Amino acid sequence: MLHFSDSPAFVFTQHKADAPQRTRPGLTSHALLQRGDVEDTELAVTWVDVAPGDAQEPHRHPSEQVYVVTRGEGRIHVNDEAEDVTAGDLARIPPGATHFVENTGPEVLSYVSAATPSFDATAQYDRAGSLSFGASQAEASSPSGSLRAHLRHQFRHADGQILEVLGALGPEAAPERAVRLLAHQLRAQDVWLGRIQGEADLPALWAEDALADCRARAEASHAAWQRFLKDCAPGDFSRTVRYENSTGKQFTSKLREICGHVVNHATHHRAQIAALIREAGGDPPVTDYIFWARSPFRKRCAVDAVVEPRL
């Protein structure tokens, strides 16, 4: 069933049991939305279940595909690249790329495959096995939408990789200065979001947070920024924000300037952290934005909420 809003975006909710089904040994697919169901679009959405130890056949599509894993563990292969995925992970498959999904876990691997040309997609699942899928062309067609989409991508990238490397080094080997810089970067993100939203009680910019504290703050900060950016209306990025700096001085800045600063501030400190990891004998991840943007794998990038469906 399709539910359209007054905006260029639309959302539909579909139970996979009501969708046309194709089955072969080890794999079942449900066509939740077929090409032509949405007027003037080529949008198509399929729910796929892969049995443990099985895999799709390698194949291609003429348009970009978005794969959102809803349960289980597996590996997505795209041309010569492959990456392990789990519930909540997302991969964008470039047009014409040879790709397939294999189930590497002990239970059924479920994912949603969406052909989404020019769409920004979100998805949500419930325990009854229903999928709520939202797509919008507004991100690509309006300047404010394009900026919003770009900023959401910027905020999604890189911090998790730094946390993984510091965690692999262990609490004793992780450079103290690197952890302190990461804590500062994450706290600064929270401070700026609080200033934008007019909050009075803001965290200190510098503190002796442990690595576990950084991980918890990173998850919460990421979610808060994604919610904020998603809800920004056209024109919001041009509005003026009044705030106090850390010494109590009053300033005004455009929202787009603040968002740009937060992204650049994080990039600056990630470079410092990478150097400290290397000095400690570790192997820092590549956190260049363009490296991430070129990759088909973008972890936990478009799923607003995932609840394991009942099969």
Residue 215: CATH number of its domain:
1.20.120.450
Which tens digits make up the pLDDT trace of 142-182?
A: 344 457 767 776 776 667 778 877 887 777 788 999 999 99
- pLDDT score, position 258: 96
Q: 36: alpha, beta or left, given left = phi > 0 and alpha = psi -120 to 50?
A: left
Residue 246 belongs to some domain of the structure: yes
Residue 103 belongs to some domain of the structure: yes
Residues 113 and 209 in one domain: no
Q: Give the structural domain span for 64.
A: 2-139+300-305
Residues 68 and 173 in one domain: no
Residues 60 and 116 in one domain: yes
Residue 69 belongs to some domain of the structure: yes
Residue 147 belongs to some domain of the structure: no
Residue 148 belongs to some domain of the structure: no
pLDDT band at 136 (very low <50, low <70, confident <90, very high): very low
Residues 129 and 162 in one domain: no
Residues 277 and 203 in one domain: yes
Residue 145 belongs to some domain of the structure: no
Residue 294 belongs to some domain of the structure: no
Residue 311 belongs to some domain of the structure: no
pLDDT higher than threshold 80 for residue 100: yes
How many domains is the chain built from? 2
Mean pLDDT estimate for the chain: 75
Closest CA to 252 of 262, 261, 240, 260: 240
Which tens digits make up the pLDDT trace of 271-290?
A: 999 899 999 888 888 888 77
